[in-house]
């Protein structure tokens, strides 16, 4: 595990009109590390991930990827910089088939005479082998995403991001809507992905899910970071306590 | 034993995937409609060559506008201005060619450019304002109809402009919309006695059906094009995605706004094809042409299995929905049933189709 940050955000501010959603957030993401962003509702988690994934632009502050400052004007820029985001409920389109979802936006094509068409044969065979690797038994690449369970959908979305070369994978509350069994499957998927050297940013307000896979924990509250701790340096009660809004900043800073 | 179970479950899977075809309802509907009219209207000449050409042309008219409405609905939007667009495009052709004396090919191209630009404007306003396209296009239903009547009145003091046939003579583009193909084949079939010929009058000896009207050619061409675009190309994947979940599609980098605007343009294109074929066929344009066509298009699409909420549907289904439309409308005429009952039938069919589609949607999305 290298010490160099793959993505670094420094002193990010974001205001929507008079509302300051983020008031100087700094965070550093490393390769092969699962960095958990914890915070209660309204803490600024979703604004932060939207900035990281290019949907919003920061009002001020700097984003560095691989040590170079970047400006992302849209999700495409983020994707091109190796950042993939899996949204809680916006990850996949339920009415479309697994294959159409997996390849959406990056469809493999081939030429038939002068016409460019989707190469379904290739799309389907790669999809089936990727699904097999990640542990999803797919009946048929043309079955709709709606027929999969919530955990399977998250897993499909994660494996899609990784297949397309994501170096930084942002997961927005991937487990919040899932049952115990499905949650453990998604957490296992996160482990597999991290072992491949992908930097995972895991957003959650569930401390026990975060503790199960996290290497680092950053707590957000009212648009500010309360600090970052490494696994083993902090326990469930302390994280829970910080998330609930009782800022024990001094104590946390002393630990780091 | 285990083989039995396996066979059973794969049978179930097959059954399920057949059930989940968006166009299943329309396929069944077409079979039933043909069966019904074949039983009750066999002796009326409905299924003779001439009779078939009759409902074939009417079905083609429905198909042309249904194809545009279908892709647009799958992309998650509606266009209620289709009927007004038909009237508008027709008047543009008639005014520029007959009143202003432009060559007909230039009038037709102008009508396409103007209509498709308005389609783009409707799309642009829809994606920019985030308003439901239902409302934006309803506004254009009135704007375009009003403009059409206004243009007709100020340029000719009439709402019907004739004389297109005369100016369209020897035009190179007009036959692509108003002519017929395979006329030689039909002449030959008539000579060989394989199809009926007129026995008296000025057309004596000529076949009763002289060729395949361009209306039918356009309908088939548009169905093939749209079906191919939707199911085989990457742009088709984006159409599904834009209607299925625009936000999710945007996050993955699909140019949703561009897709939606282009589908509005395509719908306007289809409306203009309809308008042009009618103007060239009748030799006149009328400011009130196309009224209610937008709803007929939407009904065809819904009968064809598309979801009103977007993201799911089939061009083939929409075309079959349009065929059901055409066959029933003309069939009732053949068997001498009061034609007002056609609307009752349509209303009932629409209701059944929507209920069926909602059920199918639950099956696909796994929603309870």
Q: CATH no. for residue B331?
A: 1.10.3470
Name the residue in chain A with its Cα closest to that of B250: A75
Domain span at residue B181?
Answer: 25-363
Tell me what the mean pLDDT of segment B177-188 comes to.
86
Highest mean pLDDT among A61-75, B168-182, B198-212, B252-266: B252-266
What pLDDT, on a 0 to 100 scale, did the predictor assign at position B44? 86
Per-residue pLDDT for B289 more than 90?
A: yes
Q: How far apart are CA A21 and CA A48, in angstroms?
A: 9
- pLDDT tens across B72-96, in order? 999 999 999 999 999 999 999 999 9
Q: Which range is least confidently modeled, A67-76, B96-105, B122-131? A: A67-76
Is residue B18 situated within a structural domain?
no
Is residue B299 situated within a structural domain?
yes
In this predicted complex, what is the ipTM? 0.84
Tell me the chain A residues in contact with residue B311 when contact means C-beta distances shorter than 8 Å.
93, 95-96
Q: Which residue has the higher pLDDT, B142 or B44?
A: B142
What pLDDT, on a 0 to 100 scale, did the predictor assign at position B17? 61
Q: Is A93 within 8 Å of B307 when comparing Cβ atoms? A: no
CA B83 to chain centre: 11
What pLDDT, on a 0 to 100 scale, did the predictor assign at position B19? 62
Q: Which of B237, B242, B249 to mutate to test the interface with A (most CBs of A within 10 A)?
A: B237
Is residue B31 situated within a structural domain?
yes
Is residue B5 situated within a structural domain?
no
SS (H, E, C) chain B: CHHHHHHHHHHHHHHHHHHCCCCHHHHHHHHHHHHHHHHHHHHHCCCCHHHHHHHHHHHHHHHHHHHHHHHHHHCCCCCCCHHHHHHHHHHHHHHHHHHCCCCHHHHHHHHHHHHHHHHHHHHHHHHHHCCCHHHHHHHHHHHHHHHHHHHHHHHHCCCEECCHHHHHCCCCCHHHHHCEECHHHHHHHHHCCCCCECCCCCCCCCECCCCEEHHHHHHHHHHHHHHHHHHHCHHHHHHHHHHHCHHHHHHCCCCHHHHHHHHHHHHHHHHHHHHHHHHHHHCCEECCCCCCHHHHHHHHHHHCCCCCCCCCCCHHHHHHHHHHHHHHHHHHHHCCCCCCHHHHHHHHHHHHHHHHHHHHHHHHHCCC
Q: Which range is least confidently modeled, A174-183, B140-149, B265-274, B281-290? A: A174-183
Which band of pLDDT confidence, cut at 50, 70 and 90, is reported for residue B12? Answer: low
Regions of chain A where pLDDT drops below 50: 1-2, 249-250
Tell me what the mean pLDDT of segment B62-66 comes to.
97
* Residue in B237, B244, B366 nearest the CB of A118: B237
Q: Is A90 within 8 Å of B247 when comparing Cβ atoms? A: yes
What pLDDT, on a 0 to 100 scale, did the predictor assign at position B2? 44
Q: Is B254 within 8 Å of A104 when comparing Cβ atoms? A: yes
Which band of pLDDT confidence, cut at 50, 70 and 90, is reported for residue B284? Answer: very high
Is residue B19 situated within a structural domain?
no
Interface A–B counts its CB contacts (< 8 A) at 86
- pLDDT tens across B222-236, in order? 999 999 999 999 999
Tell me the domains of chain A and their CATH numbers. Answer: 5-92+149-255 (3.40.50.300), 96-143 (no CATH)
Burial of A195 (0-12, 13-18, 19+ CB in 10 A): exposed
Is residue B9 situated within a structural domain?
no
Output DSSP code: residue A146: G
The tokens for B238 are: 């984006």
What pLDDT, on a 0 to 100 scale, did the predictor assign at position A246? 57
- pLDDT tens across B298-345, in order? 999 999 999 989 999 999 999 999 999 899 989 988 888 888 888 888
Is residue B3 situated within a structural domain?
no
Is residue B209 situated within a structural domain?
yes
Is residue B229 within 8 A of residue B236, CB to CB? The reply is yes
* Domain count across chain B: 1
pTM beyond cutoff 0.90: no
């Amino acid at each position: 595990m290298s010490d160099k940050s793959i993505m670094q955000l420094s002193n990010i501010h974001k205001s929507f009109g008079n509302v300051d959603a983020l008031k100087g957030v700094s965070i550093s993401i490393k390769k092969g590390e699962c960095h958990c962003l914890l915070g209660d509702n309204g803490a600024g988690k979703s604004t932060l991930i939207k900035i990281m994934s290019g949907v919003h632009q920061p009002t001020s502050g700097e984003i560095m990827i691989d040590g170079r400052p970047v400006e992302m004007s849209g999700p495409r820029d983020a994707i091109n910089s190796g950042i993939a985001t899996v949204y809680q409920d916006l990850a996949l389109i339920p009415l479309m088939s697994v294959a159409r979802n997996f390849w959406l936006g990056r469809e493999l094509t081939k030429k038939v005479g002068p016409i460019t068409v989707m190469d379904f044969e290739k799309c389907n065979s790669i999809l089936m082998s990727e699904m097999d690797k990640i542990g999803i038994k797919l009946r048929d690449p043309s079955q709709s995403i709606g027929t999969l369970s919530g955990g399977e959908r998250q897993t499909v979305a994660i494996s899609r991001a990784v297949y397309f070369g994501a170096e930084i994978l942002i997961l927005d509350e991937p487990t919040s809507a899932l049952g115990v069994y499905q949650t453990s499957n998604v957490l296992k998927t996160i482990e597999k992905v991290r072992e491949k050297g992908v930097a995972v940013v895991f957003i959650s307000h569930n401390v026990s899910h975060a503790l199960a896979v996290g290497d680092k924990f950053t707590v957000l509250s009212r648009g500010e970071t309360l600090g970052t701790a490494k696994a083993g340096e902090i326990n469930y009660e302390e994280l829970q306590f910080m998330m609930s809004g009782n800022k024990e900043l001094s104590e946390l800073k002393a630990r780091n | 034993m285990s083989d039995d179970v396996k066979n059973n479950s794969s049978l179930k899977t097959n059954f399920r995937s057949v059930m989940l075809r968006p166009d299943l309802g329309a396929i069944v509907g077409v079979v039933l409609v043909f069966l019904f009219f074949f039983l009750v209207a066999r002796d009326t000449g409905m299924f003779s060559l001439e009779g078939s050409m009759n409902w074939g042309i009417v079905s083609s008219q429905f198909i042309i506008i249904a194809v545009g409405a279908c892709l647009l609905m799958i992309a998650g939007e509606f266009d209620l201005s289709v009927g007004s667009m038909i009237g508008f495009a027709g008047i543009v052709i008639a005014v520029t060619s007959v009143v202003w004396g432009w060559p007909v090919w230039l009038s037709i191209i102008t009508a396409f450019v103007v209509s498709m630009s308005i389609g783009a404007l409707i799309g642009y306003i829809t994606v920019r304002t985030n308003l439901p396209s239902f409302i934006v296009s309803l506004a254009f239903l009135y704007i375009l109809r009003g403009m059409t009547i206004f243009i007709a009145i100020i340029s000719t003091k009439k709402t019907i402009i004739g004389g297109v046939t005369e100016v369209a003579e020897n035009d190179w583009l007009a036959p692509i919309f108003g002519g017929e193909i395979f006329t030689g084949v039909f002449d030959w079939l008539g000579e060989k006695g394989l199809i009926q010929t007129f026995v008296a009058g000025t057309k004596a000896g000529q076949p009763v059906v002289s060729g395949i009207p361009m209306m039918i050619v356009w309908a088939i061409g548009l169905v093939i094009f749209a079906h191919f675009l939707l199911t085989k190309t990457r742009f088709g994947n984006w159409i599904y995605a834009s209607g299925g979940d625009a936000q999710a599609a945007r996050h993955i980098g699909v140019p949703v706004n561009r897709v939606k605007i282009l589908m509005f343009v395509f719908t306007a294109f289809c409306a203009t094809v309809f308008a042009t074929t009618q103007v060239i066929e009748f030799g006149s344009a009328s400011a009130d042409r196309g009224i209610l066509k937008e709803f007929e298009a939407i009904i065809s699409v819904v009968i064809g299995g598309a979801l009103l909420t977007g993201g799911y549907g089939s061009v083939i289904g929409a075309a079959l929905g349009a065929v059901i439309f055409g066959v029933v409308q003309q069939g009732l005429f053949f068997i001498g049933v009061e034609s007002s009952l056609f609307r009752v039938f349509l209303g009932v069919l629409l209701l059944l189709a929507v209920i069926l589609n909602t059920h199918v949607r639950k099956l696909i999305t796994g929603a309870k």
